[in-house]
Amino acid sequence: MSDAALDKLIDAARLDPDHVFSAPWEARAFAIALQLSGSGHFTWDEFRDRLIAEVRESDRIRARDGTSDHGEYYDHFLHALEKLLEEKGIVDVF
């Protein structure tokens, strides 16, 4: 995805990349998920459900292991996107 295309997606979503994302890859992951959902490859609700499951699993692991952190939000976001794309047969991630 070109930088111009990414900028258009961020603008269309009314996002401020300086305050929403801490790294360029996070903005790209969001833009890819938004574009694929908008193109009908999956619904945003399907993606949201995968993301909730990822965060829940991280919380479960933190509680079990007593750790203070088991990943950042966009790490969960990317893992959820990867799993959904694999489930849908769009890509072979693993």
Q: Indicate the domain borders of the chain.
A: 3-87
Over the chain, what is the mean pLDDT?
79
Name the pTM for this structure.
0.69
Cβ 48 vs Cβ 42: under 8 Å? no
Q: How confident is the model at residue 27 (pLDDT cuts 50, 70, 90)?
A: confident
Grouping H, G, I as helix, E, B as strand and the rest as coil, residue 68 is coil
CB proximity list for 26: less than 8 A, separation 6 or greater: 20, 74, 77
CB atoms within 10 A of CB 30: 22
Give yes or no for residue 90 having a pLDDT over 60.
yes
Give the pair of three-digit tokens for residue 51. 């993301």
**pLDDT tens across 33-66, in order?**
999 999 999 999 999 999 999 888 877 776 777 6
CB proximity list for 46: less than 8 A, separation 6 or greater: 84
Percent of the chain residues topping a pLDDT of 90: 34
